[in-house]
Amino acid sequence: MTLTVRNLSFAHAHKPTLAGIDATFEARKLSVILGPNGAGKSTLLACLAGLLSPDTGAAHLDDEDIRNMAPTARARQIGLLPQGAETHWAITSEALVALGRIPHMRGAGPSADDRRAISAAMSATATESFANRPVTQLSGGERARVLLARVLAGEPQWILADEPLANLDPGFQLDILGLLRRQAEAGKGVIAVLHDLHHAVRFADHILLLHEGRVFAQGSVSEVITAANLAQVYGIDANLFKDEEGAVQLIIKGKISS
């Protein structure tokens, strides 16, 4: 199962945001989209989620053009964790998680399947203990987990997360990354937009590095995260080495003065 984009271009108000993007994302992998601010990461994710229609090219889920899928059918396959952790009303955590079932709901109330998926999602994210608390009263870390549970409750094959770690302390960041990792290991395709290079190096199976609306590099961690690439894309001076366990370690030394 793959999510692919072929020759995808998108312009925001006549300003090109993405140009000629070719990329393939696979199930069972945690793919990370990296790139500086304004590189087009969120735009690409929105195209993959079917929220934006590319100007040229297309995003395909297996062989089907995402734009040709019925919105509800698409929503059952592709779950999106949007940027910003928006929650507008003080509904309970459980009610929020239940929103993830909307693409599946037919009748008035939740079915047995819906209830099972909701409780499975809450137990996977360890959010049952505050099921009855209003989401507005949760800490940032708790809310991030509830919002992720909302995506999981829809049981999508693909999980797209747009900066899921923003505003979380290091512990909560690792919680969320661990949850995403486990979803990939369970067979889902996970695509996350991240900013933290250390997290990308440690958790990603596959990295897509965007720069000025184009694919700068893609592949495994060691293929993409090189000192030369980081210097060119971010203008940073980084040291990369393998530790005694063979894992890639990254040390950012500073900004390259231009």
Which residue ranges make up the site for another protein (CB under 8 A)? 46, 49-51, 70-76, 78-80, 82-84, 86-92, 95-96, 99-100, 102-103, 105, 134, 147, 150, 154
Distance CA 194, CA 187 (A): 21
Cβ at position 27, least distance to another protein in Å: 19
Residues 6+ apart with CB under 8 A from 236: 230, 252, 253, 254, 255, 256
Residues 6+ apart with CB under 8 A from 202: 247
Residue 46 vs 230, nearer CB to another protein:
46
Closest CA to 200 of 157, 232, 235, 238: 238
Residue 60 vs 209, nearer CB to another protein:
60
Distance CA 204, CA 190 (A): 10
Residue 3 vs 200, nearer CB to another protein:
3
Cβ at position 75, least distance to another protein in Å: 3
DSSP string, 106-133: -SSS--HHHHHHHHHHHHHTT-GGGTTS
Residue 121 vs 221, nearer CB to another protein:
121
Backbone angles phi, psi at 134, to 5 degrees: -65, 140
Residue 86 vs 244, nearer CB to another protein:
86
Cβ at position 65, least distance to another protein in Å: 17
Cβ at position 111, least distance to another protein in Å: 14
Cβ at position 49, least distance to another protein in Å: 5
